Structure 1
Amino acid sequence: MFGGGTTTFGQSTFGTAGTPTLGMAQTTPQQQGQRDFEVASPPDDSISCMCFSPANMPSIFLIAGSWDNNVRCWEVDRGTAKTAPKSMQSMSGPILDVCWSDDGTKVFMASCDKTVKCWDLGSNQSIQVAQHEGPFWDMRSPNPILALNLPERSYCVDVEYPMAVVGTAGRHIVIYKLENTPTEYKRIESPLKYQHRCVAIFKDKQNQPTGFALGSVEGRVAIQYVNPVNPKDNFTFKCHRSNGTNQGFQDIFAVNDIKFHPVHGTLATVGSDGRYSFWDKDVRIKLKTSDSMEQSITNCAFNGDGQIFAYSVSYDWSKGHEYFQPQKKNQIFLHPCFEDLKPRNKN
């Protein structure tokens, strides 16, 4: 167990198991027919980011950041889907992003307070390692090792060494090579007409990053190879839209997050329509769409071996303050997903 065992998540103390076992699944009307399990002691405000512990760790841990200024950590029991809150760290502003160190002993937390902190899980202590003014940092030094200028404001970023992709305002996409000194490799105009919302890098069968999926506020995803063999390899598809039309209009929702399955290479998208969908980009087909939740799905994550899909349900403010309903709680669910995301055979 991590240090700091007396800390609480809201009113729940560590060790509280809040989810049912696989044989005792409790479902909401939005989850009938699905084996989805609710995570114990969820955040008190909208959930901004999630990440599972590295695959090389013997246990499964999930971290999540929230607009309540806190980053929480749960242990997930692989056999029963029970979750136990383990620890929590606070920052002085809403959490923008979180990630694990490669060895799983530390968590990096970026906040609206313009700082990045490193949380040592063993000691349950955190120290500031960076500020937002610079993108590349050596955590052993308080100074940035490099600054790269972007053409516009950054909306989304993904990193899979040795590649990084940044989507900015003005429909710019900048691709970086990270070996040795990080340098700009390519700059392209986005195939999407509206604001970028999320980006995720995908890999080839040799586990090398070869392209990325880009999501927008207009219910559309672009699949882009960095160096396509055939220009037709790059394409876009519609998603997170209403099936029917309302007086001649179709409801279109933002794509809030995209993640690729670590084993199958298929992908998941989540949206403001309160649904998640699984896709096979190679045969260009939808594998599955969930029932609609009561609120938007703000982000998602796969665990290291691709058995568990986590998704967060909370208000994403896409409809403005007048649609905010404080009585609706924030939730994180775990979905057994390995079979759902198996790729289809090419004909």
Structure 2
Amino acid sequence: MSFFGSSGGGLSLGSLNNTNPLNTSNNPSPTTNSELANDTTLNDPPTDGISDIDFSSTADVLAVASWDSSVRLYEVVNGQSQGRAMYNHQAPVLSARWSPDGSKVASGGCDNAVRVYDVASNSSSTTATQIGAHDAPVRAVRWAEMGPPGSGNIMLASASWDRTIKYWDLRSPQAVATVALPERAYSMDVSKSLLVVATAERHVVIINLNNPQTIFRTSVSPLKMQTRVVACFPQGDGFALTSIEGRCSIQYVDPEVNKQNTFSFKCHRRPAGNTSGSALNTTIVSANSRAETLVYSVNSVCFHPVYGTMCTAGADGTFHFWDKDNKHRLKGFNDVGGPITATAFNASGNVFAYAISYDWSKGYQFAAPTNVNTVRFHPVTEDEVKQRPKIKR
């Protein structure tokens, strides 16, 4: 990829004092609860918190990873869902992802294990093959094509709290390679030849998968507080970072492009007193001692597979569709009744899935049996997610 230039000199990810805020006022119409009225609910959901969801690229089958130590697969047809398979880890599952050909699901979790479930051969089985392990919980798994695009050399990458990334070839019982990270992995994503890991202490690690055993560049997040999510752009030329302070940052790999186009914006915030009581984690901040704002963690980012527009979802129980290129919000939705922990579009982009669950931000004391744990399916309209011509002012 041409944007992987020289790695010398480091990459500055920009300053919050020098950002172009996204226009959040450019909503086509006010949001009402009726716009979520046709959203359907997952049948037979997990019994504990939902940590990750992912649609297959070849069929409308959703993988759901849960703190109840399970990975469940659901077929989704016209918003109606039916369980098709389930397998278990020995501890909470933190990440699950479909292989590019839709034949396998990989997962990692707090049992330190990396597991792969072969859908075709294990359709009636509740076990998955353990292909590897870390020395601490596995925070994220992603399938990645190593080497030049089109090589077909698909491997599985896993990022862990043991401060490593490991690459797995399913034909080998040992990791093909291990890459040391500066801190514990909090989030990882892959697109084309770009792999990005966000770690503790706000480090951001970029790897060019044409040379996957070497870190291309390490930087520090421009967001002032703990990183929550990293999500790569579909084009593989950049990524979005979010934090627990209700902010999102748009970053590019090429330093010159990044210098011109990087920006950060506030989201998933609301005035103090304007709460429904459904969001569980809030921080009250004061602006010049005149107004108080409730600040929520941005728990999930995903991109529309057709238009490339972006969705953020947070602990405030809301999700929003954004046009990052033209810097405005396309559509925002009201509180769905609890924190949103994970989101995913299906392959055609006409179904948006969002998981409502406790996000563990306040510790085990708030993991009450009465908490909602479910996934809902929102029928996506073109008007909600398609980019609009930039308005000249």
The bucket for the TM-score relative to the shorter chain is: 0.7 to 0.9
- AA in 1 matched with 2:43: A
Residue 73 (structure 2) pairs with residue 70 (structure 1): no
* Structure-2 residue corresponding to 1:93: 91
Contact 2:358 2:372 in 1 (8 A): no
Match of 1:219 among 234, 246, 249: 246
The Cα of 1:81 is off from its aligned counterpart by 1.6
Match of 1:159 among 186, 190, 194: 190
* Structure-2 residue corresponding to 1:19: none
The Cα of 1:320 is off from its aligned counterpart by 3.8
Change beyond 3 A, Cα 1:230–1:150: closer
* Structure-1 residue corresponding to 2:214: 183
Residue 171 (structure 2) pairs with residue 135 (structure 1): no
For 1:237 and 1:230, the matched residues in 2 are separated by 15
* Structure-1 residue corresponding to 2:302: 259
Contact 1:171 1:195 in 2 (8 A): yes
The Cα of 1:245 is off from its aligned counterpart by 6.3
What do residues 31-80 of structure 1 show as CA deviations (whole Å, max 9, x unaligned)?
Answer: 533221111111100000000011xx2x3101100000001011111xx3
Matched position secondary structure for 1:33: helix
The Cα of 1:288 is off from its aligned counterpart by 1.4
* Structure-1 residue corresponding to 2:53: 50
Contact 2:252 2:258 in 1 (8 A): no
Change beyond 3 A, Cα 1:232–1:72: same
Match of 1:295 among 338, 344, 354: 338
Residue 136 (structure 2) pairs with residue 113 (structure 1): no
Contact 1:95 1:109 in 2 (8 A): yes
Which shows bigger deviation, 178-187 or 303-312? 178-187
The Cα of 1:326 is off from its aligned counterpart by 1.9
For 2:263 and 2:86, the matched residues in 1 are separated by 41
For 1:180 and 1:155, the matched residues in 2 are separated by 22
The Cα of 1:278 is off from its aligned counterpart by 0.9
The Cα of 1:345 is off from its aligned counterpart by 0.9
Residue 273 (structure 2) pairs with residue 229 (structure 1): no
- AA in 2 matched with 1:130: G
The Cα of 1:123 is off from its aligned counterpart by 2.4
Match of 1:283 among 299, 306, 326: 326
Contact 1:200 1:214 in 2 (8 A): yes
Identity of aligned residues (%): 42
- AA in 2 matched with 1:254: S
For 1:324 and 1:65, the matched residues in 2 are separated by 17
Task: Within 5 Å, give how 1:192-341 maps onto structure 2.
Answer: 192-203=223-234, 208-227=235-254, 228-229=256-257, 231-243=259-271, 248-339=291-382, 340-341=384-385
What do residues 152-177 of structure 1 show as CA deviations (whole Å, max 9, x unaligned)?
Answer: 11111111131100111222111001
What do residues 166-203 of structure 1 show as CA deviations (whole Å, max 9, x unaligned)?
Answer: 11122211100112543211112211111010011013
Q: RMSD between aligned alpha carbons?
A: 1.8
Residue 390 (structure 2) pairs with residue 346 (structure 1): yes
* Structure-2 residue corresponding to 1:36: 39
Change beyond 3 A, Cα 1:120–1:202: same
For 1:139 and 1:114, the matched residues in 2 are separated by 17
**TM-score normalised to structure 2 length:** 0.75
Matched position secondary structure for 2:71: strand
For 1:338 and 1:226, the matched residues in 2 are separated by 31
What do residues 13-37 of structure 1 show as CA deviations (whole Å, max 9, x unaligned)?
Answer: xxxxxxxxxxxxxxxxx95332211
- AA in 1 matched with 2:172: S
Change beyond 3 A, Cα 1:230–1:140: closer
Q: Which runs of 5+ in 1 are unaligned?
A: 1-29
Change beyond 3 A, Cα 1:322–1:96: closer
For 2:273 and 2:81, the matched residues in 1 are separated by 40
For 2:363 and 2:332, the matched residues in 1 are separated by 26
